[in-house]
């Protein structure tokens, strides 16, 4: 299903994961699927960039792409919000849902003529359910709102106001595990013959050995309580639910339907690959098939309420094989962790890393798996990773180029709150989830204070106030890039085709819809660069600059001159 939510899946049986894996490995050469391991997806050089044009295609106008099959990816830009850190409406130091509503105009005021909003089309709310922890990923009530954040009515007002501005709202849904403080688990632990005992995984009940290593990398997955051992692959405060129990599956589908009926537009699914996978040795095709089958069933249930619900899964893998399996009528998108690493590497090294070459081939395969119904979910970092600016050594030029790469690629780009103002942040996790910086002095109406801004204290740039006072700020760069993306259909919705630049300091690629093609050229370096334009097949050459964010690029015949750290969009 496309993220513009305009089509409905036609369900078909799950393809053989073996066949999918074989096809993917042949075409993009995956080498590893272990979480947190960098994997280089290296396409075979012999794969052609596009099929040969048919006789009918040779008569097309120069602006029309010649590829016979273009799988468009209608998209919008999403903004990830940690509610606790974003904006405080009642002065208690904790961000809340009313605070987000107050700041919707910062994200998108609904008026395309204004220039002081980001222009995003969606927001992702990190967990908003009641929880004993600050982050909320251990839920105690799936049908309620964390009282620190407000009420269900506050959420509905936020959704209504967001929709008025053309903003979709998706929420984190954490179904792999609950909190150990959840009433279900308390009853399960105390009552071996109770209704909820089999809602969790108890080693003694299932005659399983109390040994192994957590698939999440957190150590021993078994934890003791009242003489029994339960499975909790992340930590003892997050007991895993037993999805072999049909009552658990039914309850989780009911919970999803509950939130869609309240107006939520979809979900970001936490720990999506861990529903059945629990031990590090458990990575079989059969286990993956069970995961995919569950999420297909969940998808069908959600479509009964809202066929246009957007579902994006966290499958933390750099392997296209592993992510691709979930795009078969389960998720609309899977987060592209491998691409995120490549984007930051390119920006930091100032060197092209073959992003377009890899994506072009990966997307052909994802399109085949999903019958053309997938859209990538692309990002630079999220709430589990050191922030962009910290990874780029606080270099604003590199941060601008990372953003430029992200916001000119296919798929739904996700921006982590504060990324657009250059917030710094390194682990532990509280350090990458610090309060959003609104004011130069660090205090003011709405500023959250639940955690010190220790990573950002003394920073001369990481606040909205300071960024707004600069003409060529990182924040303005984000606004400009999103505006260009929203204005150019091929940038917003097009597929990608590699374009050889002949210059290692330049990343170039084409974006194509069935009616339009543009050439995107990034000078990643701090020096002026030159690139020769060459016609591709029967498409004709690029002859004019459509958008120049630097306002100083020059096109002279078939050569374009690019100033340092610049992005140019060309048209035929």
Closest CA to 315 of 300, 302, 328, 333: 333
Concerning whether 510 is annotated as a catalytic residue, the answer is: no
The one catalytic residue in 80, 265, 308, 314 is 314
Burial (Cβ within 10 Å: 0-12, 13-18, ≥19) of residue 23: middle
Q: Are 272 and 331 in contact (CB under 8 A)?
A: yes
Alpha helices in 138-263 (DSSP H): 152-164, 183-190, 246-261
Concerning whether 314 is annotated as a catalytic residue, the answer is: yes
Q: Are 365 and 27 in contact (CB under 8 A)?
A: yes
Torsions phi, psi for 566 (to 5 deg):
-130, 160
- Residue 373 backbone class (left: φ over 0; alpha: ψ -120 to 50; beta: rest): alpha
Burial (Cβ within 10 Å: 0-12, 13-18, ≥19) of residue 560: buried
Distance (Å, rounded) from C-alpha 465 to C-alpha 179?
38
Q: What is the 3-state secondary structure (H, E, C) of 136-169?
A: CCCCCCCCCCCCCCCCHHHHHHHHHHHHHCCCEE
Helix or strand holding residue 517 (H, E): strand 517-523
Beta-carbon-side half-sphere exposure of residue 484 (alpha carbons within 13 Å): 26
The one catalytic residue in 72, 88, 265, 270 is 270
CA dihedral 138, 142, 146, 151 (to 10 degrees): 170
- Preceding peptide of 495 cis, ω within 30°: no
Helix or strand holding residue 173 (H, E): strand 168-173
Torsions phi, psi for 571 (to 5 deg):
-125, 160
Q: Are 308 and 1 in contact (CB under 8 A)?
A: yes
Q: Are 223 and 232 in contact (CB under 8 A)?
A: yes
* Chain center to CA of 235: 24
Distance (Å, rounded) from C-alpha 117 to C-alpha 468?
11
Cite the active site residues: 270, 314
């Amino acid at each position: 299903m496309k993220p513009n939510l305009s089509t409905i899946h036609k369900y078909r049986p799950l393809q053989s994961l073996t066949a999918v894996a074989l096809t993917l490995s042949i075409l993009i050469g995956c080498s590893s699927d272990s979480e947190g391991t960098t994997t280089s997806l290296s396409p075979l050089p012999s794969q052609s960039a596009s099929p040969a044009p048919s006789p009918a295609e040779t008569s097309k106008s120069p602006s029309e792409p010649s590829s016979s099959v273009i799988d468009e990816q209608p998209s919008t830009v999403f903004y990830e919000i940690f509610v606790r850190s974003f904006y405080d409406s009642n002065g208690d130091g904790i961000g809340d849902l009313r605070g987000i509503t107050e700041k919707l105009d910062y994200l998108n005021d609904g008026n395309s003529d204004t220039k002081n909003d980001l222009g995003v089309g969606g927001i992702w709310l990190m967990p908003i359910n009641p929880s004993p922890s600050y982050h909320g990923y251990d839920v105690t009530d799936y049908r309620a709102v964390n009282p620190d954040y407000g009420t269900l009515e506050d959420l509905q007002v936020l959704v209504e106001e967001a929709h008025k501005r053309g903003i979709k709202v998706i929420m984190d849904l954490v179904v792999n595990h609950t909190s150990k403080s959840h009433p279900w688990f308390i009853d399960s632990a105390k009552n071996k013959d109770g209704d909820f005992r089999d809602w969790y995984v108890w080693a003694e009940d299932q005659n399983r050995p109390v040994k192994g290593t957590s698939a999440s990398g957190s150590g021993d997955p078994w934890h003791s309580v009242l003489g029994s051992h339960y499975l909790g692959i992340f930590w003892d405060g997050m007991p895993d639910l037993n999805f072999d129990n049909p009552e658990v599956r039914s309850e989780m589908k009911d919970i999803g339907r509950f939130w869609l009926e309240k107006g939520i537009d979809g979900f970001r699914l936490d720990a999506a690959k861990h529903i059945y996978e629990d031990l590090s040795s458990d990575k079989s095709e059969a286990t993956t098939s069970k995961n995919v089958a569950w999420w297909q069933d969940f998808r069908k249930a959600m479509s009964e309420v809202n066929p246009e619900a957007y579902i994006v899964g966290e499958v933390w893998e750099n392997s296209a094989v592993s992510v691709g399996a979930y795009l078969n009528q389960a998720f609309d998108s899977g987060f592209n962790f491998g691409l995120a690493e490549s984007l930051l590497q390119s920006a930091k090294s100032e060197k092209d890393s073959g992003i377009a070459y890899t994506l072009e081939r990966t997307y052909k395969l994802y399109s085949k798996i999903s019958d053309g119904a997938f859209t990538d979910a692309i990002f630079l970092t999220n709430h589990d990773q050191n922030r962009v600016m910290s990874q780029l050594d606080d270099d604003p030029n590199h941060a601008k180029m990372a953003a430029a790469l992200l916001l000119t690629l296919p798929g739904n780009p996700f921006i982590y709150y504060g990324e657009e103002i250059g917030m710094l942040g390194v682990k532990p996790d509280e350090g990458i989830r610090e309060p959003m910086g609104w004011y130069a002095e660090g205090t003011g109406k709405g500023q959250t204070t639940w955690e010190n801004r220790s990573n950002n204290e003394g920073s001369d740039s990481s606040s909205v106030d300071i960024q707004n006072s600069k003409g060529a700020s990182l924040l303005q760069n984000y606004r400009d890039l999103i505006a260009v993306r929203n204005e150019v259909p091929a940038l917003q919705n097009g597929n990608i085709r590699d374009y050889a630049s002949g210059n290692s300091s330049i990343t170039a690629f084409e974006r194509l819809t069935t009616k339009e093609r543009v050439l995107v050229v990034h000078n990643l370096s701090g020096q002026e660069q030159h690139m020769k334009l060459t016609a591709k097949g029967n498409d004709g050459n690029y002859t004019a600059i459509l958008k120049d964010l630097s306002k100083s690029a020059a096109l002279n015949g078939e050569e374009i001159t690019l100033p340092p750290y610049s992005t140019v969009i060309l048209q035929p």
